[in-house]
Structures are given as C-alpha cells and as structure tokens.
C-alpha cells in the first residue's frame, strides 16, 4: 500500500544544488506552516508534563536539525513568559540554514554524530528532522546520540504517515499558494514520515531506556525517553 512503508524519495530542499535564495524561501514558507500548526505546542506540553513545572524552570536544550532556529526562537520566549529560562542551542548540518538565525547559539553538526560530550544538555529535542534520515541505522544512531548528550531526556517529534494527513496537507498548501517545489517537499515529508510501532522498535534497538512513543491528532508521532 502507498503508506505502508516509508518513501525513499528525496526532498528538493535536501539537494546540493539549492541556492541560498531557495533555502531562505523554503524556511520562510515552512515557518508559515509551523506557526499555523502550532508546531511548538507538543514540546511545551510534553516537557511540562514529563519534568513538572519545577523541572522546567531552568533548562539547557539542544535542537537537533534546528534549521533556521525557529523552534528555539519560539520556545525561549514562551518559557520566559512563565518566569523560566530555557537556553536553546541550534544544531544543524547546514551552515546556510543556521546563517538565517545570526543571533542564535548555532553549532554545525550531524544528528548521527553530535559534536557534544556526554550529558551536555538537560534536554535534546528534534522537530520534523528524523524523516530526512534514509535508513533505520541512521535513525538509531540519531536516537542514541540524542540520548547520549542529554542529562534528563529526549523529545523527538515528526510527521505521522497516513493518507488523510497527506490529502489534507496537500489541499492546505494549495490554498495557501505555496510554490510547487515546496508543496512537493511537504507531501514527500509525509510519505517519509513514521508510525508509532516503527519508533518503538527503533528506540529499543538504539538502546534507549524509559521511553514511550505516541501519535497526536493524526499528524504527529512523538518519542520521549527519560534519562534521569
């Protein structure tokens, strides 16, 4: 069936021939979708639920696959409005994406080989990054590396692979007049997305402890692994 297995089709943005203008435009449009879908909400809710309010008052966080750093720029003021301090470091393989966030704490690095010592951050997060990895081995390295550099836990969120979401997203992107190649990448992202049992298996094989995976609203799959 069309959605029974992950697609291996490449996204246009992942190609080496994208110009700086393409990358800037892509993150502009992606930011519109992320704000519309309240993409930061799963991180806000889940971290408070898992750590408690006292555990959220002071956190160091690394966002793996941060791109232009929008998640960090959203979460830091959200925490500050509650009297908390979240210091978020952006880590991405693309220096051109990180350059779109010149005032951030930016580190170039791979999700499968993070350039940080063990236990460097309280929390490691990743938003809609994992589907860019092609193989199960790469995903397991990503999970294991996130777990390695965290002190308290790992929270990863990505797209849920299903037909209803695929059709709904396609119609939304057309209605919002997204460029054709951005629409293409959005739909490919869903086809490269995940199911809960897949993440449960990969987390187990990666050696994570105290983890659970779940689906939200038919559009997202989340994984939280507690370390301490």
For the chain, give the mean pLDDT.
Answer: 94
Q: In total, how many domains does the chain have? A: 1
Q: Does residue 14 lie in a domain region?
A: no
Which residues contact residue 73 at a Cβ distance below 8 angstroms, ignoring those fewer than 6 apart?
101, 104
3-state secondary structure the chain: CCCCCCCCCCCHHHCCCCCHHHHHHHHHHHHHHHHHCCCCHHHHHHHHHHHHHHHCCEEEEEEECCCCCHHHHHHHHHHHCCCCEEEEEEEECCHHHHCCCCCCEEEECECCECCCCCCCEEEEEEECCHHHCCCHHHHHHHHHHHHHHEEEEEEEEEEECCHHHHHHHHHHHHHCCCCHHHHHHHHHHHHCCECHHHHHHHHHHHCCCCEEEEEECCCEEEEEEECC
What is the C-alpha to C-alpha distance for residues 161 and 112, in angstroms, rounded to an integer?
Answer: 22
Helices 20-36 and 70-80 meet at what angle, rounded to 10?
A: 40
Residue 10 counted as domain residue: no
> What pLDDT score was predicted for residue 203?
98
In a domain, 54, yes or no: yes
Provide, rounded to the nearest whole percent, the portion of the chain with pLDDT above 70: 99
In the predicted model, what is the mean pLDDT of residues 120-149? 97
What residues contact residue 114 under an 8 Å CB cut-off, 6+ apart?
62, 64, 91, 145, 146, 148, 149
Checking DSSP bridges between strand 220-226 and strand 150-159, what pairing results, if any?
antiparallel
172, part of any domain: no
What pLDDT is stored for residue 16 in this prediction? 74
Question: In this predicted structure, what is the pLDDT of residue 69?
Answer: 97
What is the mean predicted confidence (pLDDT) over 2-16? 84
26 Cβ neighbours under 8 A, 6+ residues apart: 13, 18, 182, 185
Res. 7: pLDDT tops 60? yes
Say if 11 falls within a structural domain: no
**Tens of pLDDT along 82-100?**
999 999 999 999 999 999 9
Query: Which residue range is the domain that position 207 belongs to?
Result: 20-160+195-226
Confirm whether 214 is domain-assigned: yes
> Does some domain include residue 124?
yes
Look at residue 154 and tell me if it is in a domain.
yes
Entry pTM? 0.95
pLDDT tens sequence across 147-200: 999 999 999 999 999 999 999 999 999 998 988 988 999 999 999 999 999 999
For CA atoms 212, 169, 186, 45, give the dihedral sign.
negative
User: Which pLDDT value is given to residue 1?
Assistant: 52
pLDDT, one tens digit per residue, over 46-73 is 999 999 999 999 999 999 999 999 999 9
Rounded distance between C-alpha atoms, residue 82 and residue 57, angstroms: 9
What CATH number is given to the structural domain containing 220?
A: 3.40.50.150
Instruction: Write out pLDDT tens, residues 21-40.
Output: 988 988 998 898 898 889 99
Is the pLDDT at 205 greater than 90? The verdict is yes
- Given this model, what pLDDT does residue 192 score? 96
């Amino acid at each position: 069936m069309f959605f029974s297995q992950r697609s291996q089709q490449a996204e246009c943005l992942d190609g080496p021939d994208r110009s700086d203008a393409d990358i800037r435009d892509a993150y502009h449009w992606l930011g519109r979708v992320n704000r519309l879908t309240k993409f930061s909400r799963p991180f806000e809710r889940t971290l408070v639920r898992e750590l408690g309010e006292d555990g959220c008052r002071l956190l160091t966080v690394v966002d793996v696959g941060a791109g232009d750093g929008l998640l960090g720029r959203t979460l830091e003021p959200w925490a500050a409005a509650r009297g908390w301090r979240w210091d978020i470091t952006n880590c991405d393989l693309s220096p051109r994406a990180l350059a779109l966030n010149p005032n951030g704490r930016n580190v170039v690095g791979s999700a499968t080989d993070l350039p940080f010592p063990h236990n460097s951050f309280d929390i490691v997060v990743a938003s809609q990054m994992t589907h860019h990895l092609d193989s199960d081995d790469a995903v397991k390295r990503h999970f294991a590396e996130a777990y390695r550099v965290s002190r308290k836990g790992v929270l990863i969120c990505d797209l849920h692979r299903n037909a209803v979401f695929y059709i709904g997203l396609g119609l939304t992107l057309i209605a919002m007049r997204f460029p054709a190649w951005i629409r293409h990448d959005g739909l490919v992202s869903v086809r490269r997305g995940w199911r809960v049992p897949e993440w449960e298996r990969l987390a187990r094989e990666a050696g994570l402890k105290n983890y659970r995976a779940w689906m939200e609203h038919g559009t997202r799959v989340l994984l939280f692994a507690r370390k301490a």
